[in-house]
């Protein structure tokens, strides 16, 4: 009788553990992508939804920076062969936590800017709306029958400290990769847009209305120029 009671107690304990709240998992989703040709380059706007897991947050608060990236691949479909990759690019960000000031830092490797935020929610929001990302020279995209592009967001595991890399590859709580979002890139220059507007004493050109692949309602930010490497010789 005592043994049956012990077994029943163990089974009850296991049941309670199974019903206990699960650890919050990370999730990333590409909501929409919009592209247009400006100044001989294809610029891309991307809206994301990003949620870090408890493991990610704990790592940040223990001084481990997280490197994440946005990846876009543009390819040309072919009837009898695999699609031919025409252009591809990555945009890297680094997320850090500063313990002394209790602030979160976002470093954009493209613009070489570092922004400071008082909480993680606002920090993630800053990289959830990517604007004016130059992904390809228009010369790479001209004179092609059809182009298909895909974009995704991912945690760069290879940029983690060496002792954490193996764990990040095997532990699902470290997973943070969105599904590929498929879209068709524009290859024609945009039509004449609105007149420049005055903002804070400086003249800036208003960004065009974003054509959403999925509804969001967040207005795009003004475009900023970034240096793009010249196209390689054929």
Nearest to 149 by CA among 69, 83, 214, 91: 83
Which residue shows structure tokens 């599904």?
Answer: 179
The residue extents of the domains of the chain are 23-204
pLDDT per residue as tens digits for the range 11-52: 333 333 233 344 578 999 999 999 999 988 999 999 999 999
Task: Take residue 9 and report the two structure tokens written for it.
Answer: 């107690």
The residue ranking higher by pLDDT, 39 or 72, is: 72
**pLDDT score for 149:** 96
pLDDT per residue as tens digits for the range 115-125: 999 999 999 99
Instruction: Report strand pairing: 181-183 vs 148-155.
Output: antiparallel
pLDDT per residue as tens digits for the range 200-209: 333 233 333 3
- C-alpha–C-alpha distance, residues 151 and 73, integer Å: 7
Instruction: Indicate whether this model's pTM tops 0.85.
Output: no
pLDDT per residue as tens digits for the range 148-202: 999 999 999 999 999 899 889 889 999 999 999 999 998 877 665 554 333 333 3
DSSP assignment of 14-53: HHHHHHSPPPPPPEEEEEEEEEEEETTEEEEEEEEEEE--
């Amino acid at each position: 009788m005592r043994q049956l009671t012990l077994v029943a107690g163990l089974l009850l304990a296991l049941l309670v553990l199974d019903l206990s709240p699960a650890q919050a998992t990370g999730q990333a989703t590409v909501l929409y992508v919009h592209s247009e040709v400006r100044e001989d380059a294809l610029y891309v706007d991307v809206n994301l939804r990003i949620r870090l897991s408890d493991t990610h947050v704990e790592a940040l608060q223990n001084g481990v920076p997280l490197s994440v990236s946005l990846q876009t691949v543009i390819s040309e479909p072919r009837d009898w062969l695999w699609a031919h990759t025409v252009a591809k690019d990555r945009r890297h960000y680094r997320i850090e936590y500063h313990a002394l000031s209790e602030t979160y830092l976002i470093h954009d490797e493209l613009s070489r800017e570092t922004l400071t935020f008082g909480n993680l929610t606002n920090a993630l929001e800053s990289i959830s709306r990517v604007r004016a990302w130059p992904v390809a020279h228009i010369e790479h995209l001209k004179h092609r029958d059809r182009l298909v592009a895909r974009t995704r967001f991912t945690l760069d595991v290879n940029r983690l400290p060496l002792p954490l890399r193996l764990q990040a590859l095997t532990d699902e709580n470290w997973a943070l990769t969105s599904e590929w979002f498929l879209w068709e890139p524009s290859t024609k220059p945009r039509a004449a847009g609105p007149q420049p507007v005055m903002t804070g004493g400086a003249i800036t050109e208003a960004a065009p209305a974003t054509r959403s692949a999925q509804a969001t309602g967040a207005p795009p930010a003004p475009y900023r120029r970034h240096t793009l490497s010249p196209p390689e010789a054929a």
